[in-house]
Structure 1
Amino acid sequence: MKRFRFWVMGVASVAVAALYLVADPDGGRQFAEQLRALVGVVFALPLVYLARRALAESVRGRDLAELVRDGNVAAGLAYLGLRVLEVGLLLVICGRAPAAELPAGAVQYLPVLQSEVSARWPSMPAPSMLAALVEQESGWRERATLHTSREDGVGLGQFTRAYGADGRLRFDALAEVSRLDPSLAAWSWADRYNPRMQLRAVVVKVRTCHARLSRLVRDDYNALAMCDAAYNGGEGGVMAERRLCAQAPGCDPGVWFGNVEAHSTKSRARWHGYGASAFEINRGHVQNVMIVRRAKYVAALGA
């Protein structure tokens, strides 16, 4: 029996892990995130055991199992109840762990984001992506600001306006997004710290991009990955990168990771004051949103 358990729990587990790794759509990055979540469950198991012993100190699972083998029905019911208690404790403890990782602002503003998604984009396939994007942009701080000699960024979604060397306005992302939905028409820099309008603008901007790209790429996941790249670096840049990918042997312009991701017109020279190039910043943005940060919001918002 012990040898059978070894094969099932050991070799079969390795085989399943290998299958997940081979089938990983992100070249192993999604698998790494799933392993990270599994480690949290493993560390939760001793806590479950201690909590169960505290709640049912005099009950021993091994003793009950022996009584069950002897045909004791009452012991069988007690054994079943003990296992149900352990599963319940595991769900409670593991369910608390992701919530503890959320930034304070996320706890405050996730309900606002949920209401804006419901009102502006109820068919959004992965609301967790929007939450991860907000965390990446601002850490959920509605008064987060970016200020350089030529650029100002503000709010949960870091909408920016930039100026040329001559001081003239080069672009205004807040003004651009306000034209995408009637509910944003009155939003302006004077009301830039309004958290609901900030989150509404994030939803509307990604929704508009997704409406275009979802018709061109393989699936919603890749459309959202490319829309995140567009949010950070411009939709025109993503379209140019898809064309570059299409011209490269073996590159699928409908897939971001490992395909479009590897082809770019963006500068690879490091920007002064940033410590990274435009290319590195953009690719890191998508990696962080789609792989690193998004998982923690799935339970609250859905895949």
Structure 2
Amino acid sequence: MSDTQSSRQEPSFTGAIPFKADGAYMPGLDGLRAISILIVVIAHVGFENLIPGGLGVTVFFFVSGFLITRILVAEQNQHAGAIDLPGFYLRRFLRLAPALLVFLLGSWLMLLPFGVKVDAGHVAAALFYFINYYDVVREWFGWSERTIPWGHLWSLAVEEHFYLLFPAALALFGKTHQARVRLVIISIVVCALWRAYAVLGLGLPHEHTYYTTDSRLENIAWGCLLAILLDGAPRTRARLAWLVGWHWVVLALGAILATLVYRDEVFRETLRYSIQGAALFLLV
């Protein structure tokens, strides 16, 4: 097939995000991450009733899933579906661990004069990325209440669990484009159904729904899905290009606004995350 014939099959849409997966830097996504962090910061300084900090975390999860998946899929495209898992894990460790250690030590030294106590459970939960489960399960095991303000590391724990699980799942069950799509869609559906069952069937508290990986992994998976579909065949890319336009932006923003305005507790603990994930899919 000639280059001219091949180009005719590609959708005409061109934008800031290339279709084909690669590890190239995309400044537009840095903007999204900056917005997500700004939302969280504004909420935490006393405006949580006006600015929903949780939405900022959801946006950050989506962007993380998108970026990591593009990197992994690009590697699979170059190496017949294979992923260098030890290399990936080493890069994640070197990127996260030094900053985490400096933060933990520095914050502990700052709080030491105020008599704030830190026990081994607090340190282990922070160092080994299970602080998002610590407050949920500590009463079950008789652990002491967390007194040092490391609770915001819960989102880092969710991302670290994603870094551990998703590349291995992709290497084992996602060697082709169709397999990747199937893997991520199943993950989204299973996570959404489990969250609904946890709330409606088991009556698990808000802390579980909001903080735990098994509940929030769906937000990351929506970003993974977009990255995988962008890397698909020309027909798939053409369908995605059809979703570009201001009317879709308005629809997606309206859906996100609706999830913030509608205050029913069951909705907020279940469908809210799915609707926000789908809306971010459209926006990005």
Taking CA–CA contacts closer than 8 Å with sequence separation of 6 or more, which of the two structures ends up with the larger relative contact order? 2
Greater share of helix: 2
Shorter-chain TM-score tier: under 0.3
More strand by share: 1
Return the TM-score normalized by structure 2.
0.27
Question: Under a length normalisation based on structure 1, what TM-score does the superposition of the two structures give?
Answer: 0.26
